[in-house]
Amino acid sequence: MLRTISTHLATQGHDITIWCEQPCYKSSDMSRDCPSHQDLEGVAVHRISRFPLASKIKLIAMLGKILFPLRILIKAMFAKLSGQKYDLVWTATIPPVVQGFVGRKTSKLFNAKFLYHCQDLYPEIANQMGLLKETGLFYRLIKAVEKRNRREADCLVTLSEDMAQTVLELQKPSGSLEIVNNFNLDDFDTATENTAEHTAADDHNEQPIRIIFAGNLGLFQGLDKIVDAARIIESQCPTIQILFLGEGKALNQLKRSANGLTNIKFQPHLPFAEAKHIIAKSDYGIVSIEPDIYRFAYPSKLLTYFGLGLPVLAIVEQESELAQMIMARSLGYVSKGRTAAEISDMLLLVAKDRNKINIMKSSVANTHQMMLKPDRRLQQWAKIIDGLENMQ
């Protein structure tokens, strides 16, 4: 996504340099080496090396992630000493808090403006998920750092109205507060093609209704309740088939819970170029987030589903911006709650209304065309950058 945004801004006349690490986000990335310096469509990319043996020893890989911000700050110091100049420093929120701190310090080093792209709101989301105690010293320390990160941002970008409202409640930035959601990732390695195929055979009442959850199988997404719901409806609704595509800490637990079920299958993580074909052949995509998380994050997998033509089954508060959009535009279904019984009721309704699949897919296509296409997001980013350029 950053590559798409940056190359677009380069065509607008901006001089952009990206500092990053060699591919290392997933274990499969560790085998890919890219040039340490590369020009990508007018964008200068500088990649720092991975730690030795990071691809073989998880502890070293974790150490590399922890020390990445420090290495970037050191790189910034050397860049300053060598006479390099930058007008804007832009960073996201991973690793949490410390990346914002480094972005803020780097902007001061270059006397540049600071753009803070908040994909999630830390550390509050960690507290909401039970990972950090609000009364703990560590939590209070990093919250104070993040409060300053947000306050001193010349521009703070969130993904939704819900997140923006939370920011205002926590710490209003001294600069502008913008809402720019994510968009579908470009696949730079394969030709663009239409993967959202749907044939007449798919509409036959005896065909299975294919539901997919694609992405990280995390411990805090309530995925176990989906398995429980599948158990409830297995005998009375055999047309429902659920696929979990991906890996994560909850995978083994989910497999144990689903043992013996005929309506649940698992498939390992695949590169997006391959996974998108499987997603596009599904009828619905599942979006599930834990209670109150919608205030601190936005499930970007929703945009992947919509980009591939899928309506969604959402397990999220009905008052959230996400749920309101789904219900208002007939983009899928929103569960009335998070219990297995409530999720099973939603699945039974999906089976009952199977003739609405194509109608909802048409609504998804129209909504994506009008509201969610990358072109719209890129226009927003260009406007934000131009505004910062003109700020006194």
192 pLDDT exceeds 50?
no
Q: Which three-class secondary structure state does DSSP give residue 101?
A: helix
Q: Half-sphere exposure of 213 toward its Cβ, with a 13 Å CA cutoff?
A: 27
Residue 265 vs residues 197, 219, 229, 294, 315: alpha-carbon distances, Å: 22, 18, 14, 28, 20
pLDDT of residue 372: 76
Spatial distance between the Cα atoms of 128 and 114, rounded to a whole number of angstroms: 27
pLDDT digits (tens, 9 = 90+) for 105-147: 999 999 999 999 999 999 999 999 888 999 999 999 999 999 9
β-pairing, 43-48 vs 17-21, is parallel
Asked if omega into 123 is within 30° of 0 (cis), the reply is yes
Lookup: tokens for 332: 């899928």
Give 176's strand partners: 155
Domains along the chain with CATH numbers: 2-187+373-390 (3.40.50.2000), 200-371 (3.40.50.2000)
**Most confident option among 25-39, 206-220, 281-295:** 281-295
Lookup: tokens for 172: 């209003």
| CB-neighbour burial class of residue 81 (10 A; exposed 0-12, middle 13-18, buried 19+) | exposed
Spatial distance between the Cα atoms of 102 and 142, rounded to a whole number of angstroms: 13
DSSP state for residue 97 in the 8-state scheme: T
198 pLDDT exceeds 60?
no
pLDDT digits (tens, 9 = 90+) for 159-176: 999 999 999 999 888 899
pLDDT of residue 37: 94
pLDDT of residue 27: 64
Lookup: tokens for 265: 């299958």
Query: pTM here?
Result: 0.85
CA dihedral 38, 45, 190, 32 (to 10 degrees): 80
| CB-neighbour burial class of residue 262 (10 A; exposed 0-12, middle 13-18, buried 19+) | exposed
Lookup: tokens for 23: 């591919």
DSSP state for residue 342 in the 8-state scheme: H
